[in-house]
Structure 1
Amino acid sequence: MPSRRTVLAATAGVTAALAVGSPADAAPVDDRKLRALISRMTLQEKVGQLFVMRVYGHSATDPDQADIDANLSEIGVRTAAELIAKYRVGGIIYFTWAHNTRDPHQIADLSNGIQRASLTQPRGLPMLITTDQEHGIVCRVGKPATLFPGAMAMGAGGSRRDARTLGRISGAELRAIGINQDYSPDADVNINPANPVIGVRSFGADPEAVAVMVAAEVGGYQRSSVAATAKHFPGHGDTAVDSHYGFPVITHSRELWEKLDAVPFRAAVAAGIDAIMTAHIQFPALDDSGDPATLSHPILTGILRGELGYDGVVVTDSLGMQGVRTKYGDDRVPVLALKAGADQLLNPPDLPVAWNAVLTAVRDGELTEARLDESILRVLRLKARLKLFRQPYVSGHGVDRTVGTRAHLAAADRIAERTTTLLVNDGPLLPLSPATHDRLLVVGADPASPSGTTGPPTGVLTAAFTELGFSATALSTGTAPSAATIARAVAAAREADAVVVTTYNVTAGSAQRTLVEQLAATGTPVVAIAVRNPYDVARLPSARACLATYSWTDVELRAAARVIAGAVGPRGRLPVPVQRADAPGQVLYPIGYGLSY
């Protein structure tokens, strides 16, 4: 970790130029001094400040050879430090697959190395370091950090206080490891059960309820001096196409947009949201040009800036996604995004192409330097509000004192218990007791593990039930069990007192549905846990009990085990409606439904 002398030396110039308040005060940022900083920047430095870029490696200066090779192949530099020196980017985004997030102390060292590399450049500025820490199924920083239930689970809990606690604790832990911006919360209103990219990342289908949760979570992050980012404007909740791989079209009328999609974003703006991320979607009612919202002046400048009155940072979703690359080449996309009103260009697939395209657009007069200055001022305001000019570095002591503490982990467990939703309980079967159902067989889907897991769901549940006094056995059957696998599970079920089966996005012809039916046919009572979409319950009529956890992270699975065992009661309520499987136009379980005992 850098010494105090290193910190003071690296930040002396910019600190003297700015009257930025201490963490305890709320002094306004002085735009005159920020503009003075901008006036001393070269055009190349200004262009760089607009980009937030990925980089491979656990270290800013000494990554593994494989990461050096990946950086050379994709960016043309060896390390994060070289990236900053060459392109003067204003931000870095961390990914697990880029090997940025091995453990808290490594992340803190990487963050300090990135800040040092930027601050020691001529006219050096602190960096925005960001990641997608939504919790639930999207987490880049895993254990031993505290992992919370995801957005739809939080929507099932419905507690504004819990959402604020999530933001506060998650923000404090991110800040301790040097991450000062989070691309969360998701402000989309998910009204399409077939949405392949949002789904449980949304708080739910009720725009007012989503708005409450978004604003509360934003408030929590603000308390921890981490920038929250509401996404994906103008609303990605009613798509059946994943914008990573295609170009979704939203068919909502302008009136419906006002009543549905816009509500959480208005709440985020009212809550003082630090940044808003754009969506790579076509929204003809808002802009009939056929351009994605990310490249739409009517949407970003006309509606977001003009009508919603938002003057904070607008960041694009990743420019490597297919949704923004369908109409235009990678050299045009960043220029058009800036012309539309974006401030930050996130993760272009080819940084040299994107960076030079913006530089050329200014030199040729398509973009003015004054237009760049507008965005850079917003970015520097955010850095100043986050106290990065005075406190760019973090310490090992801060990591140990903050990340994954017993109090934080206990808070996550308590919140998870309030989100677990019981939808079916025939008999009633639940709660189970070791006295009557000692031998538990845990079978089912084991989807790829997000960062909040220590193992497959069947293993995590088996360990949790064992701790609760049951004799539990795990048998993973996968998301598409074969006939032979189902036969093994059925044979094991005949020797059990009860079966707990995890399901993952059950469809009409899914082998998971066949598994549950054949398990139930043994006469052994079956408890189904939908570990992603709660819509599974509509296709599992043979299960005696059904619960929804909205994700398969450890914190949610352990909470479900405690609910099944009666250690706590189920308190979650559906934040989305569940339609009948045989008649999708009819609601089987409405928003707000949930059983108790």
Structure 2
Amino acid sequence: MHNEPTFEQSIGQHLVTGLQGVSLDGQFIDLVRNHKIGNVILFSRNIVDKHQLKALCAEIHDLIVQETGFPPLITIDEEGGMVSRLGPDATHLPGAMAIGATADQGNAYTIGRISATELRALGIQCNLAPSLDVNSNRLNPVIGVRAYSDNPETVASFGTAMVRGLTDGNILSVVKHFPGHGDTDVDSHTGLPVIEKSKEELLACELVPFKAAIEAGVPAIMTSHILFPGIEGEPVPATMSRTIVTDLLRGEMAFDGLVFSDCLEMSAIKDHYGTSRAAVEAIRAGVDLVFVSHTYNLVAEAASAIAESIRNGYIDSDEHAVSVERITKAKIRFDAHSEESLDMVGSEEHRTIAKAIMARSVCIGNMPTESLPDLGDQPLFLGCRPFHTTLASNGESETPPFPDWMASQLGGKALVTPDDPTNEEIIALMEETRGATCIVIGTYNGHIRQGQLALANAMAGTGLPTIVCALRNPYDLVYLAENIYSFAVFEYSTLAFEAIRCILTQERTATGVLPVHW
């Protein structure tokens, strides 16, 4: 049995904080003790290996139970693909668009179950995934391959399948970013996006996957930091909008689960409203849990501001009590403190399944002839290193550069190129084609940094067989010359590189179906 939380403990239930290192530091411990913070988000910065991570989660669990009387929600962004925090000990899982490209919703369920098994074993019970955004804007800098498709029904079917997989594995799945982040060309980590759509337009597209998830029993939804002037007359983003959170999500859409905010330290919030004010307004709007993920003093300020707003009646005390009860019930249901073995974390069984699903995701963009050209004995591999398209992506990548990895497997020459080469750099790179038998280029959101596409098209002009592999958003393929052989593989990882290798050596053919349209 759990006792009723004290007033201070009830405030802390609303807050999710990060920690700075790979162990509990004094400031974090003081923060939890002084403000009864009830929940944590983990990032790559907190993880060394699976043994350290499991021990860290156990320490977090014990500290928060001691101080708040309830287990914590230990959360993580483990979407798979380009948003993965767990590191090489865990199974690297394909991301949403790669799964969507397999055209098999069963793969989404399977990925959800694998993710759940590994997270539970580590002591994590809340996955901030999947994204239910409909990526209808190809210039979207933050979603892209994190979405299953640009078709709302496809997103709905694949997203709900992954939610079922996570839930069946006893993981609290938090779908995002309500009411939709797919039709923006601004990243809310760095700016304040606006979506100028009416409610009717949102109901026909962005809200379709969320409606399906609610009907399927999704336990939690995360809000976005986006202005929707078509449904909210005040200049506040969805996270701070009672019209959107309470009237639309809880009222019209009948959602009775947990509502999380996205991080209140993102520029869309911090620069325009301030973190502590936003925390108060989010709770007042109907959000249950707010993320203040990086800065301890901002967490403390948010806790104090929420407490004062409840005391003075700005936040309704009855609504606060209902929200806290909703949070604590979910914590008891999904409590992950266990002695489960780590054997399945990064197991051969899981890695084999992930590899097979990734292999089925590769899509043909263009085939000028009936079959791929032979690489010959001197293939030339080119491509840039991955760069931060969004702060949501992984940190400093441990993945080797695409050209280096491919040359190590297939021989030939490797050249790591700039991520947006100039005309002068392209001319210099053209000199490197002498003696090459085939050119293979990996692009990484070249539709945004178009020097990559200029390089690919210039290489195709040499007369040498040229193959392009889109290693993130598939929209790169739109801008390529007609004589280029092209594929989409949706992520920059050795898992994806291996799938490409099998295509280039004609060990298998590309069977994926592009889940976006142009």
Q: Which residue does the alignment assign to 1:411?
A: 353
Cα offset for 1:128?
0.7
Change (3 A) 1:291 1:483: closer
Correspondence list, 1:115-194, <5 A: 115-121=61-67, 124-194=69-139
1:402 pairs with 2:350: no
1:424 to 363, 366, 371: 366
1:475 pairs with 2:415: yes
CA contact (8 A) 2:190 2:268 kept: yes
Q: Which residue does the alignment assign to 1:447?
A: 386
Cα offset for 1:51?
0.2
Cα offset for 1:550?
1.4
> Which amino acid in 1 is paired with 2:300?
P
Change (3 A) 1:95 1:128: same
> Which amino acid in 1 is paired with 2:285?
A
Show CA shifts across 1:96-116 (max 9, x none). 2xx211211111111011011
Query: Whole-Å Cα distance in 1 between the matches of residues 30 and 500 of structure 2?
Result: 47
Q: Which residue does the alignment assign to 1:244?
A: 189
Query: Whole-Å Cα distance in 1 between the matches of residues 457 and 316 of structure 2?
Result: 65
Query: Whole-Å Cα distance in 1 between the matches of residues 27 and 494 of structure 2?
Result: 34
Q: Which residue does the alignment assign to 1:48?
A: 12
Change (3 A) 1:130 1:394: farther
CA contact (8 A) 1:446 1:458 kept: no
> Which amino acid in 1 is paired with 2:65?
L
1:303 pairs with 2:260: no
Provide the TM-score with structure 1 as the length reference. 0.82
1:276 pairs with 2:212: no
Give SS of 1:120's match: helix
Q: Which residue does the alignment assign to 1:235?
A: 180
Q: Which residue does the alignment assign to 2:30?
A: 82
CA-atom RMSD in angstroms:
2.0
Show CA shifts across 1:61-115 (max 9, x none). xx5xxxxxxxxxxxxxx2433332222112100112xx21121111111101101
Provide the TM-score with structure 2 as the length reference. 0.94
Give SS of 2:40's match: strand
> Which amino acid in 2 is paired with 1:471?
G
1:568 pairs with 2:513: no
Larger Rg: 1
> Which amino acid in 2 is paired with 1:110?
L
Task: Tell me how many residue pairs correspond in the alignment.
Answer: 509
CA contact (8 A) 2:284 2:316 kept: no
> Which amino acid in 1 is paired with 2:41?
I
Cα offset for 1:482?
4.8
Deviation larger for 489-498 or 170-179: 489-498
Q: Which residue does the alignment assign to 1:588?
A: none
Show CA shifts across 1:455-483 (max 9, x none). 122223333xx2xxx32332111212355
Show CA shifts across 1:110-147 (max 9, x none). 101101112233x5211110111111111111212111
Give SS of 1:228's match: strand
Give SS of 2:74's match: strand
Q: Which residue does the alignment assign to 1:522?
A: 462
Show CA shifts across 1:517-552 (max 9, x none). 332232221100111121111221155201111111
2:434 to 494, 501, 514: 494
> Which amino acid in 2 is paired with 1:288?
G
Change (3 A) 1:495 1:488: farther
Query: Whole-Å Cα distance in 1 between the matches of residues 316 and 453 of structure 2?
Result: 59
Query: Whole-Å Cα distance in 1 between the matches of residues 103 and 174 of structure 2?
Result: 21
Give SS of 1:153's match: helix
Give SS of 1:230's match: strand
Show CA shifts across 1:342-396 (max 9, x none). 000111651121111011111212124322211111111211221x2xx51445x
Query: Whole-Å Cα distance in 1 between the matches of residues 353 and 99 of structure 2?
Result: 13
Q: Which residue does the alignment assign to 1:584?
A: none
Give SS of 1:284's match: coil
Correspondence list, 1:207-356, <5 A: 207-325=152-270, 327-347=272-292, 350-356=298-304
CA contact (8 A) 1:304 1:310 kept: yes
Query: Whole-Å Cα distance in 1 between the matches of residues 150 and 161 of structure 2?
Result: 17
In the alignment, structure 2 segments of 5+ residues that lack a partner are: 389-393
Cα offset for 1:487?
4.5
> Which amino acid in 2 is paired with 1:257?
L
In the alignment, structure 1 segments of 5+ residues that lack a partner are: 1-16, 19-36, 64-77, 579-597
Q: Which residue does the alignment assign to 2:391?
A: none
Query: Whole-Å Cα distance in 1 between the matches of residues 347 and 282 of structure 2?
Result: 41
> Which amino acid in 1 is paired with 2:379?
L
Correspondence list, 1:87-102, <5 A: 87-96=35-44, 99-102=45-48
1:361 pairs with 2:303: no
Query: Whole-Å Cα distance in 2 between the matches of residues 106 and 346 of structure 1?
Result: 24
1:550 pairs with 2:490: yes
Query: Whole-Å Cα distance in 2 between the matches of residues 368 and 303 of structure 1?
Result: 19
Query: Whole-Å Cα distance in 1 between the matches of residues 234 and 399 of structure 2?
Result: 47
> Which amino acid in 2 is paired with 1:151?
A
Deviation larger for 151-160 or 471-480: 471-480
> Which amino acid in 2 is paired with 1:341?
G
Give SS of 1:314's match: strand
CA contact (8 A) 2:472 2:489 kept: yes
Cα offset for 1:429?
4.4
Cα offset for 1:53?
0.4
> Which amino acid in 2 is paired with 1:530?
A
